[in-house]
Structure 1
């Protein structure tokens, strides 16, 4: 019978091999640290560039919303409100608590002259500009749907084109000249909350614009823009009513 003797490594050899392990681990750790230090600037540069690209894209879109939609609408609705105040102060029939075409008070032809003049030369041209801005830039509205007040502004403007188109100088000699139905769009009111809706959207966009312009980190702080409640508030008051105390509430 043969017997084989297995020689085990001596304790001296084992201790030498074990003593080399910390040195190898330290060398490996040093290599990894050096690699990370080499890659870190590139990773940081890529991350910063990626975040700044997102910021730049959002800023471009916000700028477009302000430039093409909410900025022009804000200027037009404010101008229209000032013009309405002027008309109300200068030409509204006596009695601030009644409608312009209140059937309880017979209007003079001169009153209707002023009404038709302001409607055809001031208010309707402004309304057409509002309509054009909305139609051409509707993709830039805040939210997922067209605000109700925008739809009403378009409808009211289009309806007035038909009303004004029927006005003739010879009408002044007829009894219909001073009537409501001969001068207004019956049942379709001016959206009296459109000014509040536009102002809210413009203010939100300007705030977001300033945040994005300050630093790239602002893109990580997400505050979704929300349409104001006034954007869906449909005006159903009689459109010929005298101007209420609220500046933008006017039914022309």
Structure 2
């Protein structure tokens, strides 16, 4: 076999290997995006939303978010205010801290080259509540964060999660269905009604 036959074979092997390596890198990144960023973040945000809705149902005088917020604003040391601070300290803030850590520690896995403003607002909100919780401990129960919770965050995270799952499936050559995607997102839309989390508190 002459050298003229060997060279094309070498080129084919080189480019085929290069293409395979690039595809593997894309698959590995998509896997990391699901496993380390969007999957855990979706779980935290979903849990926070469900917990907030449960808190409102249990402690709002009229069963609504507006009624709950009004009661706390008018009487911070009343039963609604005490319940809110307890839920915030024991349930909501720990979940928010976990979600913020996921974002901060895995910024390199974001699908977009820019950080979405909703993520920046969320991290700022979580940071501000660290101060607020300390102020509550000092007795300043009427203080609230000036940085509201971004109510579009759950929809943003769910949308990005589904986008990455579709990309992951395409790279793996898996044909996905609407039923499969619903199952991956927990079998239901994470928007549990129109409960605007702590944007008003």
Q: 2:24 aligns with which of 31, 46, 56?
A: 56
Q: CA deviation at 1:167?
A: 1.8
In the alignment, is residue 211 of structure 1 matched against residue 170 of structure 2? Answer: yes
2:33 equivalent in structure 1: 65
Q: In 2 relative to 1, CA 184–202 (structure 1 residues): closer, same or farther, beyond 3 Å?
A: same
Q: Greater helix percent: which structure?
A: 2
In structure 2, what is the equivalent of residue 129 of structure 1?
98
| Distance change in 2, residues 1:100/1:40 (3 Å) | same
Structure 2 portions without partners, runs of 5+: 175-190
> What is the aligned-residue RMSD (CA, Å)?
3.1
In structure 1, the partner of 2:151 is: 192
Contact 1:159 1:185 in 2 (8 A): yes
Specify the structure having the higher radius of gyration (Cα). 1
User: How many angstroms does 1:123 deviate by?
Assistant: 0.5
1:225-244 matches, cutoff 5 A: none
Q: Which whole-Å CA distance do the structure 2 matches of 1:167 and 1:202 have between them? A: 35
Cross-structure match for 2:112: 143
Asked if residue 251 in structure 1 is aligned to residue 163 in structure 2, the reply is no
List runs of 5+ in structure 1 lacking aligned partners: 1-30, 216-242
Of 162, 174, 192, which residue of structure 1 is paired with 2:131? 162
Paired residues in the alignment total 182
Per-residue deviation, residues 191-233 of structure 1 (Å, max 9, x unmatched):
1111111111111111111111229xxxxxxxxxxxxxxxxxx
Residues 206 and 91 (structure 1), Cα distance of their counterparts in 2 relative to 1, 3 Å cut? same
Rounded Cα–Cα distance in structure 2 between residues aligned with 1:214 and 1:244:
33
Give secondary structure in 1 for the equivalent of 2:144: coil
**Preserved CA contact (<8 Å) 2:57 2:64:** no
- The equivalent of 2:187 in structure 1 is none
Residues 244 and 250, structure 1, Cα contact 8 Å, conserved in 2: no
Could you tell me which of 146, 161, 166 is aligned with 1:202? 161
- Structure 1 residues 57-104: Cα deviation after superposition (integer angstroms, max 9, x where no partner): 111111222222111111111111111111111111226373533279
> What is the CA deviation profile of residues 98-137 of structure 1, one whole-angstrom value per residue up to 9, with x for unaligned ones?
3533279844722111111001101111111111111111
**Structure 2 contact 37–109 (Cα < 8 Å) conserved:** yes
TM-score, length of structure 1 as denominator length: 0.62
Change (3 A) 1:197 1:124: same
Measured at CA, do residues 82 and 105 of structure 1 come closer, stay the same or move farther in structure 2, by a change above 3 Å?
A: closer
